[in-house]
Each structure stands twice: as structure tokens, then as C-alpha cells.
Amino acid sequence: MTLYDYRKSQEIAVKDYPFYALIMAAMRKADTHNLIRLKSMFPGTWEELQARYNAPGGYLGEELGD
């Protein structure tokens, strides 16, 4: 980690994003090694990210009233 990373983390923390939004964003940005680690720690979040990525507008069936 660098000072730049640390300061960016402060900026992000102030915005008070939801925890799982941060995890999904980390998954999108992760290199292969870190993605493997994130997927093993948050398998359900990975599955939802993939489902939403492949769904029109990110909507899943229950959100469309199906």
C-alpha cells in the first residue's frame, strides 16, 4: 500500500458506501490472485455480481416482478 492508496481509502470511507458495494467494486478491480481470495471469502457476493453483470440493467428476476 502507498500513501496515495491510504488517502484514497479515506476519501472513500467519508462517502459511506455500503460494505458489499465496496466488495463488488474490489472484485471488479482485483488482479487474479486477489480476485481468488475475494471470491473465497465472499462467494455469494461473487455469484450476485456475476448474475447482475449478465442481467439487463443489473436487474434480477425478483426485482422485475417476475
**Domain interval for residue 50:** 16-64
- 28 alpha carbon, distance to own chain's centre: 6
| Tens of pLDDT, residues 10-46 | 999 999 999 999 999 999 999 999 999 999 999 999 9
Position with higher pLDDT, 62 vs 7: 7
- 47 in a structural domain: yes
Could you identify the residue written with the cell 447482475? Answer: 52
pTM reported for the whole predicted model: 0.86
Instruction: With respect to residue 11, please indicate whether it lies within any of the assigned structural domains.
Output: no
pLDDT value at residue 66: 53
Q: What is the pLDDT of residue 18?
A: 97
CA distances from 1 to 7, 9, 10, 22, 44 (A): 10, 11, 13, 17, 27
Q: Is residue 6 part of a domain?
A: no
Domains in the chain: how many in total?
1
Q: Does residue 64 carry a pLDDT above 80?
A: no
* Residue 7 is assigned to a structural domain of this protein: no
Q: Output the pLDDT for position 62.
A: 81
Residue 1 is assigned to a structural domain of this protein: no
- The C-alpha cell at 27 is 472484485
Domain membership of residue 41 (yes or no) is yes
Q: Quick check: is 48 in a domain?
A: yes
- 8 within some domain: no
